[in-house]
Amino acid sequence: MRRHLLSAADLSRDDATLVLDTAEEMRTLADRPIKKLPALRGRTVVNLFFEDSTRTRISFEAAAKRLSADVINFAAGGSSVSKGESLKDTALTLQAMGADAIVVRHHSSGAAHRLAAAEWTRGSIVNAGDGTHEHPTQALLDAFTMRRHLGDLAGRRVTIVGDVLHSRVARSNALLLTTLGAEVTLVGPPTLLPFGVAGWPVETSYDLDAAIVKSDAVMMLRVQRERMNAAFFPSAREYSRRYGLDARRMGLLPEHTLVLHPGPMNRGMEISADVADSARSVIVEQVSNGVAVRMAVLYLLLSGVTVPAGISIDASSEAGGAA
């Protein structure tokens, strides 16, 4: 049986809860002087990153190392990819080196599905962000962080704000949070809400002030200029005024409301520096929780213990995405 984590939609409520509960166990390791478990000794995890990343790559590396796996970091810049090597040949090379898990980030939506469905490798594929499509471990770490502060997420209201159109974080969060019973509202300018959002299990709004006053958590998204090929809003100033979280807006939030951001942040654009550094913000905590969540995912996929059904997809039954 092949096992992958490609989409937040693959996770049932029980699967997601098992990952979050396992992450809770993993998190206790961070407080110990020796932050290591022998669980994945002798296993090899490859970080295959075709797109820039700071926290996701380091986080997967720390997670794999804390489980005693061998880690190979592969960045497309500086590799044979710049000589025109295909995803297939890269995957075959990694297979020949005995990769048990491939954590892949790629600029094309569907790349992780393609790797899993093509069966070029026998290892587990973990999607660490594919184009504007999905980023399931980010959604898991966001849910983990919210759950630590708010308890069960059923009935909780989460507002996701900004460049939803280009955000794999928003898509994975919308899927996972609704699976966990939360109510999700997406807020952004009409140009940055995806076409077809009406079919998502969420509410949408263009009015940030109205949405945040009833939120238990507000997740700000980075404005992804590198994916914008046109002007999606008149000016940065106009964007921040309508869709940025600054001190005035933070004053409208209920007392218990959390502020999240997946990073990297554009300080002064979608979030002001004082809000990012305020006591409400759990942004740094998201980063440390990311390691525990990725440890849980790698452990559940690779250790051979009970694997939740949602992350035990038989790749041969997958239709496969375009890469």
Give me the least distance between CB of 268 and ligand NCD, in Å please: 15
Measure the CA–CA gap between 169 and 30, rounded to whole angstroms: 25
> With binding defined as CB under 6 A, does residue 135 bind ligand NCD?
yes
Write down the least CB distance from residue 254 to ligand NCD, Å.
26
Contact criterion met (CB below 8 Å) for 159 and 219: yes
Is 168 one of the binding residues for ligand NCD (CB under 6 A)?
yes
Angle of helix 136-150 versus helix 55-66 axis, rounded to 10: 80
Q: Give dist(CA 121, CA 103) in Å, integer.
A: 12
Q: What 3-state class would DSSP assign to 116?
A: helix
Of 262, 308, 310, 321, the one binding ligand NCD (CB under 6 A) is: 262
Check if the beta carbon of residue 88 is closer than 8 Å to that of residue 111.
no
Instruction: Determine whether 230 is exposed, middle or buried from the number of CB atoms within 10 Å of its CB (0-12, 13-18, 19+).
Output: exposed
Point out the residue whose Cβ comes nearest to ligand NCD. 222
**With respect to ligand NCD, which residue has the nearer C-beta, 295 or 315?**
295
* DSSP-derived 3-state class of residue 36: coil
- Whether omega for the bond prior to residue 234 falls within 30 degrees of 0, making it cis, is no
CA distance 317 to 96: 24
- The verdict on 109 binding ligand NCD (CB under 6 A) reads no
Among 171, 222, 249, 294, binds ligand NCD (CB under 6 A): 222
- Looking at 65, 81, 148, 263, which residue binds ligand NCD (CB under 6 A)? 263
Find the shortest distance in angstroms from Cβ 263 to ligand NCD: 5
Q: Nearest approach, Cβ of 31 to ligand NCD (angstroms)? A: 23
CA-to-CA distance for 23 and 21, rounded, in angstroms? 5
Q: Phi and psi of 99, rounded to 5°?
A: -75, 125
- Report, in Å, the least distance between residue 312 CB and ligand NCD: 24
**Contacting ligand NCD (CB under 6 A), which of 24, 30, 55, 285?**
55
Q: Which of 120, 243 has the CB closer to ligand NCD? A: 243
Contact map string, positions 9 to 38, toward ligand NCD, x by CB under 6 A: ------------------------------
User: Which residue, 220 or 307, has its beta carbon nearer to ligand NCD?
Assistant: 220
Closest separation in Å from C-beta 97 to ligand NCD: 26
Supply the DSSP string of 282-319, one letter for each residue. -HHHHHHHHHHHHHHHHHHHHS-S---GGG---GGG--
Interface with ligand NCD includes 129 (CB under 6 A)? Answer: yes
Chain residues in the site for ligand NCD (CB under 6 A):
55-56, 129, 135, 138, 168-169, 222, 224, 262-263
